[in-house]
Each structure stands twice: as structure tokens, then as C-alpha cells.
Amino acid sequence: MAGAKLPEKMQPLEGRSLLPLLKDPNADWPNRELFVHCGRWDDGDREQEKYNKCAVRTERWRLVNHAELFDISVDPGETTNVAAANPEVVSQLQKAYDQWWDSAVPLMVNEGLPKVKPDEQPLVKRYEQQRNEQGIPAWEPAERFVVEDETLTR
């Protein structure tokens, strides 16, 4: 759409173009899985963390931590685990997650990196210094606005 060229050395981008939907809101849009995994682990503990803080979802389903299944079409708040009633969906999503994990592992740069220590981050140090020396002032808008009868006035 914009005509931008990607560098040749860049890995292919994961995802798909939204252009068909921008051109036609009724365009065919096939369902697919989306994967989430967040976390850090000690060197060598990758497989122990594989199913920790992760999810795979489709348009209808969300499988959390490889065990809890939610039908987000009727339960967007994810309050009712329906895994026992839908073992075939659980199995399908587990398989998809495992395939994604195996493809993602070679790209991970998680091991051998220092763990973040909040008290050593420069921004945190500056915040602490300002708070201790002069306090953190309460934010006040430059002008006050008043809403009366759904009309915004100054």
C-alpha cells in the first residue's frame, strides 16, 4: 500500500496484510491461531517455562497455559474453563502451540542475558532521586474544563 521495501537481510514478517479488509470490509478473512508467551527463565530452563504464561487463541477459543480452555465468543471474561467438554479443541490448540514453540525457539534470545533489576535501571534511579530530593508534584492540567449539559466549556 505504501510501497515501502524491506531490507533483504530482514527475516520475513509474520502476519498478513490488512489491505483486503481496508478495501472491502466484507472480504474473506480466514481464522488462524495467535500465540502469546511471555517470561524470562534461567539458562537451561526453557522447557520448564514452555507452558507458563502462554496462550493460543482463535476467533472463538483461547487456550491458556496449555490447559484451560475458554469459549471467548460467549465468555469474553474467561470465567468458565470448558476444556473437559472440548478435548478435541484442546488437543488441536496444544498441537498448534507446540508447533509454534518449536519454530520460535531458534529465534529466542532469552538465555544468557542478564535479568532486569528494577533498582538498577537509569529511569528508576532518576525517579527515585527526584522523589527523594523534591518530591513528585501532582499533575494539574493547564486549564480546567467543565462539562455542563453535555457541553464542554473552559
Asked if the model's pLDDT at residue 118 lies above 70, the reply is no
Distances (CA, A) of 104 to 11, 37, 100: 13, 10, 6
What pLDDT shows up at residue 114? 66
Confidence of residue 127 (pLDDT cuts 50, 70, 90): confident
How big is the CA angle at 115 (ends 114 and 116), to the nearest 5 degrees?
115
The C-alpha atoms of residue 48 and residue 41 are separated, in whole angstroms, by 9
What pLDDT shows up at residue 115? 65
Judged by DSSP in three states, 66 sits in coil
What pLDDT shows up at residue 62? 98
Which is higher by pLDDT, 68 or 143?
Answer: 68
Confidence of residue 141 (pLDDT cuts 50, 70, 90): low
Domain boundaries, the chain: 30-111
Closest to 69 in 3D by CA, of 100, 42, 103, 96 = 96
Most confident of 94-98, 126-130, 143-147, 148-152: 94-98
CATH class of 30-111: alpha beta
Tell how strand 146-148 and strand 68-71 pair up.
Answer: unpaired
How big is the CA angle at 91 (ends 90 and 96), to the nearest 5 degrees?
100
Residues 32-63 pLDDT 10s: 899 998 877 777 778 888 898 899 999 999 99
Phi and psi of 61, rounded to 5°? Answer: -115, 155
56 Cβ contact partners less than 8 Å away, ≥ 6 residues apart: 33, 34, 35, 36, 62, 63, 93, 96, 97, 100
Alpha helical stretches, state H, 30-110: 46-49, 87-104
Residues 15-34 pLDDT 10s: 788 888 888 988 888 888 99
Mean of pLDDT values over 65-74: 96
What pLDDT shows up at residue 143? 65
* Terminal-to-terminal C-alpha distance of the chain: 42
Mean of pLDDT values over 131-139: 77
Tell how strand 151-153 and strand 61-64 pair up.
Answer: unpaired
